[in-house]
Structure 1
């Protein structure tokens, strides 16, 4: 990618996670110019699930961390790497993802906080038991670091309820939760 003012042809929004009534939401804090391109690589933004489409961006140096996200052409970019390779310029790697509306700790009729999350496929298993079959769907729910979900509880993601199986919370920038749903087919 070329570094220079003429390469900054795309408008992107810098997003920040903000506390809102009832939970968390991504809010736009500013707009900036960037050079952006989809690459032919997969961005492995989740250590547990599969990856997403990779986007490489070049921006002028600014206050930007992996706690932020970007919106580019109406699409959500989950930041995975920010490096100042050349003084004054940021080389940013991001995963092109579709955020899902989520609600944490949903059980016994209680509604926990709302938050944005990204569902990543892990596996799908189908078992044929006569006379019925069971389908098990396991996803990884990637959330901003500020979002904490109780393991073994229920979480709602994209309108569907899942059981939280395992919490991966050691990453300094995000949390990952293995979530599971079983159903009869």
Structure 2
């Protein structure tokens, strides 16, 4: 039985919005109260609704809140932390159970360059896309190669983004903040999930 006093944590409801042309941001759509439990487990193992299907998981949070319209396309902010929603089920007539992953959001800039027809019918490389959006990085792999004259370090991540953000292999993604700040190339796209897209991104640098 859930009492009103059990819903003691205040959260913000977030929705993705194109706040200006080609700029997407999470914006607040109001506040709500919930019971929040961070169980210390990993979302990869503790929930059938995974934060990422190709990257490693994130810390898992369990919430109870009053029944209301809620979608996995939305998100929550709790104590300054971003909660990526991974599952919503009905607890009883008045309450919902919500599974979420506690994640760090980074600002990303994606660009695409394609050949277009220029003067005299010659192909000309031109930028055809430039969008800014919030993303979530999770680790995929780290491969070390030793060559005759130097070593190269291939660094890869999985970039998890809202469904509205559509990228292609070969697009460049600049992670603009956080410890992984750098320019990466999209190598593999995973777009079958109904609520999110996942992109494997990589860069190579001398070490």
TM-score, with length taken from structure 2: 0.85
Give 5+ residue unaligned stretches, structure 1: none
> Root-mean-square deviation (CA), in Å?
1.5
2:56 is aligned to 50
**What's the CA shift for 1:18?**
0.5
**What's the CA shift for 1:106?**
4.8
Q: 1:66 aligns with which of 61, 64, 72?
A: 72
Runs of 4+ residues over 2 Å off in structure 1: 105-111
Tell me the secondary structure at the aligned position of residue 105 of structure 1. Answer: strand
State whether residues 106 and 156 of structure 1, in contact with CA within 8 Å, keep that contact through their aligned partners in structure 2: no
Give 5+ residue unaligned stretches, structure 2: 45-50, 114-124
State whether residues 186 and 202 of structure 2, in contact with CA within 8 Å, keep that contact through their aligned partners in structure 1: yes
Q: How do 1:4-43 residues align onto structure 2 when only pairs under 5 Å count?
A: 4-21=3-20, 22-43=22-43
Q: How do 1:1-185 residues align onto structure 2 when only pairs under 5 Å count?
A: 3-21=2-20, 22-44=22-44, 45-107=51-113, 110=127, 112-158=130-176, 159-185=181-207
Tell me the secondary structure at the aligned position of residue 64 of structure 1. Answer: coil
Determine which structure has more spread, i.e. the larger CA radius of gyration.
2
> For 1:119 and 1:109, how far apart are their aligned partners in 2?
28
Deviations for 1:37-70, whole angstroms, at most 9, x for unmatched residues?
1112111210000000001110001111000000
TM-score, with length taken from structure 1: 0.94
2:118 is aligned to none
